[in-house]
Amino acid sequence: MIDQLPILAEINPGFWVILAGLICTLLPVGHARKAFVIAAPIFAGLLIFQLHDVTTPEVLGGVLQFGPVELTTLRIDKLSVVWGYLFCLAGVINGIYALHEKCRITDSSALIYTGAAIAGVLAGDMITLFIMWELTAISSVFLIWKGGDHAYAAGVRYLAIHVLSGVMLLAGAILHAQANGGDFMFNEIGLTSPGGWLMLLAMGIKVGFPGLHMWMQDAYPKASITGTVILASFTTKFAIYALARGFEGEPILIWIGAIMTCFPVFFAVVENDLRRVLSYSLNNQLGFMVCGIGIGGALAMNGVVGQVFVHVIFKGLLFMSIGAVMYRTGTAKASELGGLFRSMPYTAIFCLIGAGSIAAVPLFAAFVTKAMILAAAVEEHHYIAFLMMLFASAGVMEHSGIKVPHFTFFAHDSGRRVKEAPWNMLAAMSIAGFLCFYLAWPFGGYQQLYALMPFELDKPYQPYTWDHVVFQMQLLFAAIFAFTLLKRFKLYPAERRAEILDVDWTYRKMGLNVAKWGSAMWDRLAVNTKRVRTRFISSAGRRLYQTFSPAGAASEATPSGLAAIMTAGLLFVVLLLAYIAK
Amino acid sequence: MPSMFSALEYVPDWLLTHGPAFLMALPLIMAAITSILPNKRVAWASTFIVTAILTLTAFALALYNAEVGTTIYKMGGWAPPHGISLVVDALNAPVLVLIALMSFITIIYALPATVAEIKPNKRAPFYAAFLLCVAGLLGMVITGDAFNVFVFLEVSSISTYVLVAMGAARDRRALSAAYNYLILGSIGATFFVIGIGFLYMETGTLNMADMARILADLDGGSRVAKVAFGFIIIGLGLKLAMFPLHTWLPGAYAYAPTPVTVFLASTATKAALYLLLRFTFFVFDPSYAYVADELLYILVGMGVIGMVFASLQAIFQTDARRMLAFSSVAQVGYMLLGIGIATTASVAAGYLHLINHAVIKGGLFLALGAMWYRFGITRTEDFKGLGKTMPLTMGAFTVLGLSLIGVPFTAGFVSKINLAGAAADAGWWWAVGVIMLTSILALVYIGRVLLLAYFQSPPVVNGEVVVRNEAPLMMLIPMWILALTSIFIGVESDAVVGAATRAAELLLGAG
C-alpha cells in the first residue's frame, strides 16, 4: 500500500480518521456513516502496521516548515506505535458498540475524536501535539452534550478545563522550545524549566491528577451511553502517552500517582451512580500508570504500556456493560438496579469479566501488567508507594470488582425484567472480553502483549509464579471478605441517592454561587453608579466628539493661511531646536 | 533567491544600463504625447503600456541592484559632481518598484473609474497628468542630485494639483481642496528649495553623496547647515503630511477622483518619506547633535501626537475617504516614529511600514472607489449591508482593514510587530504602548464600518431592498491583488523584511 502511494508515508494515519469524521458530518446515510466508523480506524491501523519498521528506532514523516518552526507531523517509534494500535482497536470496538445509534453528531465527533487521539500520539512535535490536544477536547464535548440537557453545563465545564489545559500545553511547549534553541520536537521534557512545569500541569489536568481530576467524574457520567464508552478510551490515555514521553522517571510522579490510586477508592465506595463509580475507578487506574511513569526504567515503563493497553479494553468493557444496562433500563443508579442477571445474563458475564480484569484476578488482563508496576516499585525501593498501590488494588476489587456487578446484576431484585442488550453491544463486549482473557493467558497470551512493549528486558517478567498468584488471591479474598463482613453487619454504605462532594464542588457549586453573588453585587453597583457613569461617559464622549469629529474643533477646515502660519511656527521651533543643539 | 536572478537573463543589457534614465524619460515623453491623443481609449492604452513597462523596468533594476549593489548612472555622460547622476541603491529600489507597480495597478482600475468620474474630453489630459506625476515621483526618488529632487518634486506636485482638481466633476469641493493643496504644497517645496540653497552654500555642491562627504568633513557643518536641515524637514514634513502639517491631505484625498486618491495615498507621501530618510541619514547624519535633536523632538514628537490625534479624528469621521485619510496621517506617524528612534531595526521597521502601508491604503481606497462607482457611497453609514451587496469588494476591504489594524498573518502585523520590537529593543517602552493604543483606535474606526457592512441589512430604496451589484472585474482584480499581497507579506515576510533591512543597513550600517 505504501509502496504504491509514497504520499501515505508522509501523512499521519490519524488524519485519515479525522477526514472520515469530517465526511460523516455531511453524510446523511446512516449505514454509510457506520461503514466509515468501522473502516477508518482499521485503515489507520493497517497504515501504522505498514509504516512501523521494527528495525529502525523511529519513522519520521510529514515534515512541514512554518517560518522558524519545523513540524514533524508523523513519528512512529516503539512507544507511540503501541498507542496507535490501541486507539485504532478501541475505535473499532467503540464503533461496533455504537452501531445501533443513528446519530450523525455522535458518529462524526467520535471519528474526529478518535482520529485526533491517534494523530496526537503519532505526532512528532509539540505544536501538532497541541493541536490534537485541543481537537480531542473540542470534538469530544459533543459526546457529552448528547447526554441530554443536564449534561450541557458539565460539557461546558469540560471544554473550558480542557481548552485551558491545551493553552497551558502550548505556552509550556513554546517556553520549553525556546530554552532548547527552538527545537519543537516532543521528547524528554523534564522539570528543569518553567515550560516543563506548565506542560506537566497541562498533562496533569488531562490525566486527572488529584485535585485536577474533577472534570472526569463530572462529565463522564453525564455523557450519552456510547459517549461515555468512547470518552473513557482516549483522552486520559493520550495524556498518559504524553507523560510517558515527556516525564519518564520524574520522582514527583510517583507520589502523585500513589495518591491518585488511593483517593478515588473512598469516593467510589460511597457513590451511587455506577458510571460515576467507574469514573473514579478510571481515575484510580490512571494513578497506577502515573506512578509507573514516575518510577521509570524498563520494567515499570513496560508495565505502564501494558497496563494502558489492557486498561482501555477492560475499562471499556465495564463502561459498555453498564451502558448496556442503562440502554435497557434507563438508569445507572445502584439504588434503582439489582437482580438483572436474570434478564441480561450475557451482559452480566461480560461485566464480571471486566470486573475480574480490573481487579487483577489471575488469568484476567490486569494481573500481568499491574504486577509489573508493583514489582518495579519494590525493585526501586519505593515501599510506601508500593503499599499505597497495594491498598488501592484492594480498593479496586472492592468498588469495581464487587460493587459494580453486585449492585447491578445481583443484590436485591429491583423487579426489572428487560431484554438482553442489542447484538452489536454484545459483539463489542465479547471482543473486549476475549481480549481480557487472551492478553493474560499464560500460554502464549501475555507474551503477545510483551511483544508490543517498547523496552527489552534481560529476563521477561514472570507473572505466573506460585507466590504471586497466591499473594494476589489472598488480597482479593481479603477484599471480598471485607465486603461480605461489612454487608453482613450493615456497615457498607447503602446504595442511596445522594450527591457526593468532590473537588468539583468548589467550582461547580461554591464557585457558581460566588460568581452569582458577585454578579448580583455588580448589578447593584451598576444600578447605583449608573447616573454617575453615564454622565461621565457621555461627557467624555461629547468632549472627544467636540474635539475630533468633523464638526469638532480639531477638524475645522483649516484655511491655507492658517496652515501656512502653522508651518512657519513649526519651522521656528525646528530652527530653535537646531540653534540650541550642542 | 536564484530563481529571481535568473529572471534577469531575459532583460536586455541596455535596459539595465540605461534603465534609470528610461524610468523618468519614458513617462515624461509619453505624457506629452498622451495629452494630444484624441481618443480616450488610446490614451488609456498608452498609459497602461507605459506603466507596465515602467513596472518591469523597476523590477529589473531592483533585481539587478540586489545582485550587483549600488549603481550610478551619469546623465549625458557627465560625471558627478558636475553632471547629474541617477542612483539605484538598496534604499530607493523598493520605492521605485512600489511607485511603478502602484501606477500600473491604479491604471487598471482607472479604466472603469475614469468613465464615471472624468469628463470624456478631459480624459486624455488626465492620463497625461498622471504620467507626469509618475515621472516626477520616479525622478525624485532615483536622482542623486539635490536640486534635481526639487525639480521632480515640483513636476509631481503640480500634476497632482491638476489631478485633484479634476475631481470637481464629481464634487465641487475638489477645487478648494486642490487650491489648499497647491498653496501648502508650494510652501513645502519652497522651504525645501531654500534648504537645498543653504546646503549648496555650505557645501558648494548639489550632488547628494558629495554633500554628505563634505558635511562629514565639516563635522556637521556650520549654522547654515543647521538652518538648511530645518527648512528641509519642514518642507518634506508638509509633503509627507506630518502632523500638524497634514491639513491639506484629508481634503485632497476625499475629493480627488478615486484613482488619484489611490495613487496619491500609496505613493506621494511615501516618496516624500523616502526623501526624508535620504536627507536625514544619508546627506546629514544622526550623529550631528542638531539632527539627533530634531529626530527626537520633531519627528518622534509630531509622529506620536499625530498617531493618536489623527486616529481619534478618523474614529469620528462620517466620510469614509476622510476617515482613511486621517488614518494615513496616523500611519505616517508610525513611520516617523521608526525613523526617529534611529536604530537600524527601527528604521527598517519604519521603511517596512512605508511599503506595507502603501499596499494596504492603496487597496482600501480602491475598494472605496468601487463602492462609490456602484452605489455612490462616500459616507460611512452607507456601508450598511455592503457585505451582502458587494461581497467581493467588501471582502478585500475587510482583509486590508484587518491588515491596517495589524491582525496576525497580514502585512500590517509584520511592520507593527517589527516597529514595536525595535522600540522595545531601544528601551522605548512608552512607544510600544502608543503603538498598541493606536492599533486599538484603528480597530475602532475600521471595526465600525465592518460592523455596519456585515451586521446590518442592505438599505431599502424606493420600497425595494438593494440587491447584489458587484464591482466590475477591472476593479476587483487590482483590489484583490493588493489584498492578497498584504496577506502574502504577512505570511511570507522574508523578502520584504529583507529589503527593508538592507535599506536601513545602507543608511545606518549593519547593527
Interchain proximity A544–B312, CB inside 8 Å: yes
- Structure confidence at residue B351 (pLDDT): 94
Q: How far is A544 from chain B (nearest CA, A)?
A: 8
Calpha distance B42→B419 (Å, rounded): 45
Q: Per residue, what are the HEC states of A317-368?
A: HHHHHHHHHHHHHCCCEHHHCCCCCCCCHHHHHHHHHHHHHHCCCCCCCHHH
Strand locations in A258-315, DSSP E? none
User: Confidence class of residue A502 from pLDDT cuts 50, 70 and 90?
Assistant: low
Dihedral of CA A280/A282/A288/A289: which sign?
negative
Query: Which 3 state secondary structure label does DSSP give A501?
Result: coil
Calpha distance A427→B177 (Å, rounded): 83
| Contacts with B184 from chain A: Cβ below 8 Å | 560, 563-564, 567
Q: Per residue, what are the HEC states of B279-295?
A: HHHHHCCCCCHHHHHHH
Cell matching residue B7: 529572471
Interchain proximity B298–A571, CB inside 8 Å: no
Q: How far is A64 from chain B (nearest CA, A)?
A: 15
Cβ pair A273, A222 in contact under 8 A = no
Chain centroid to CA B344: how far?
Answer: 21
Calpha distance A200→A171 (Å, rounded): 12
Residue A17: Cβ-neighbour burial (10 angstroms; 0-12, 13-18, 19+): buried
Interchain proximity A548–B227, CB inside 8 Å: no
More confidently predicted of B351 and A189: B351
Calpha distance B433→B414 (Å, rounded): 17
For chains A and B, CB pairs below 8 A equal: 87
Residues above pLDDT 90, as percent of chain A:
6
Q: From B246, B434, B273, select the one nearest B351 (Cα to Cα).
A: B273
- Residue where the block lists cell 544622526: B286
Interchain proximity A573–B298, CB inside 8 Å: yes
- Structure confidence at residue B438 (pLDDT): 92
Q: Within the 536-575 window of chain A, which residues sit less than 8 Å (CB to CB) from chain B? A: 544-545, 547-550, 552, 554-555, 557-560, 563-564, 566-567, 570-571, 573-575
Mean pLDDT for chain A?
A: 84
| Contacts with B245 from chain A: Cβ below 8 Å | 563, 566-567, 570
Query: Which 3 state secondary structure label does DSSP give B408?
Result: coil
Chain B, nearest residue to A550 by Cα: B317
Q: Could you list the pLDDT tens digit for every one of the 511 residues in chain B? A: 444 556 777 788 888 888 899 898 999 999 999 888 877 788 899 999 999 999 999 999 998 888 888 888 888 888 877 788 999 999 999 999 999 999 999 999 999 998 888 888 888 889 999 999 999 999 999 999 999 999 999 999 999 999 999 988 888 889 989 999 999 999 999 999 999 999 999 999 999 999 999 999 988 878 899 999 999 999 999 999 998 898 899 889 999 999 999 999 999 999 999 999 999 999 999 888 888 888 889 999 999 999 998 999 898 888 999 999 999 999 999 999 999 998 999 999 999 999 999 999 999 999 999 999 998 888 888 888 888 899 999 999 999 999 999 888 899 999 998 999 899 888 888 998 999 899 989 999 999 899 889 888 888 888 888 888 889 999 999 999 999 999 999 888 888 899 999 999 988 875 4
Segments making up each domain of chain B, as ranges: 305-511
User: Closest partner residue to A566 among B179, B244, B309, by Cβ?
Assistant: B244
Interchain proximity A544–B316, CB inside 8 Å: yes
Going from the C-alpha of B5 to that of each of B62, B96, B497, the distances in angstroms are 10, 18, 18
Going from the C-alpha of A211 to that of each of A208, A263, B186, B472, B479, the distances in angstroms are 8, 10, 74, 62, 55
| Contacts with A544 from chain B: Cβ below 8 Å | 312, 316
Chain B, nearest residue to A567 by Cα: B245
| Contacts with B315 from chain A: Cβ below 8 Å | 548
More confidently predicted of A522 and B290: B290
User: Confidence class of residue A554 from pLDDT cuts 50, 70 and 90?
Assistant: low
- Structure confidence at residue A148 (pLDDT): 81
| CA angle, residues B143, B148, B154, in degrees to nearest 5 | 115
| Residues constituting chain B | 511
Going from the C-alpha of B3 to that of each of B8, B9, B225, the distances in angstroms are 9, 11, 46
Cell matching residue B276: 526624508
Calpha distance A108→A115 (Å, rounded): 10
B322 touches chain A (CB under 8 A): yes
| Contacts with B321 from chain A: Cβ below 8 Å | none
Calpha distance A84→A131 (Å, rounded): 17
Backbone angles phi, psi at B215, to 5 degrees: -60, -40
Going from the C-alpha of A59 to that of each of A114, A298, A524, B302, B321, the distances in angstroms are 22, 21, 62, 59, 57
Q: How far is B231 from chain A (nearest CA, A)?
A: 7
- Structure confidence at residue B2 (pLDDT): 46
- Structure confidence at residue A493 (pLDDT): 66
| Contacts with A552 from chain B: Cβ below 8 Å | 316
Cell matching residue A427: 459483539
Which of B198, B312, B445 is the best residue to mutate to test the A interface, defined by the most A CB atoms within 10 Å of its own CB? B312
Cell matching residue B139: 525622478
pTM given for the model: 0.61
Q: Kindly tell me if the per-residue pLDDT of A345 is higher than 50.
A: yes
Calpha distance A563→B247 (Å, rounded): 7
Q: Kindly tell me if the per-residue pLDDT of A445 is higher than 60.
A: yes
- Structure confidence at residue B1 (pLDDT): 43
B381: Cα within 13 Å, side-chain hemisphere: 2
B238 touches chain A (CB under 8 A): yes
Cell matching residue A39: 473502516
Q: Summarize the confidence of residues A388-412 as an average pLDDT.
A: 82
| Contacts with A557 from chain B: Cβ below 8 Å | 251
Q: From A263, A133, A113, select the one nearest A199 (Cα to Cα).
A: A133
Q: Which residues contact B49 (CB under 8 A, 6 or more apart)?
A: none
User: Closest partner residue to B313 among A548, A579, A582, by Cβ?
Assistant: A548
- Identity of the amino acid at B457: S
Going from the C-alpha of A466 to that of each of A226, A509, B64, the distances in angstroms are 40, 51, 85
- Structure confidence at residue A9 (pLDDT): 78
Q: Summarize the confidence of residues A328-335 as an average pLDDT.
A: 82
| Contacts with B179 from chain A: Cβ below 8 Å | 560
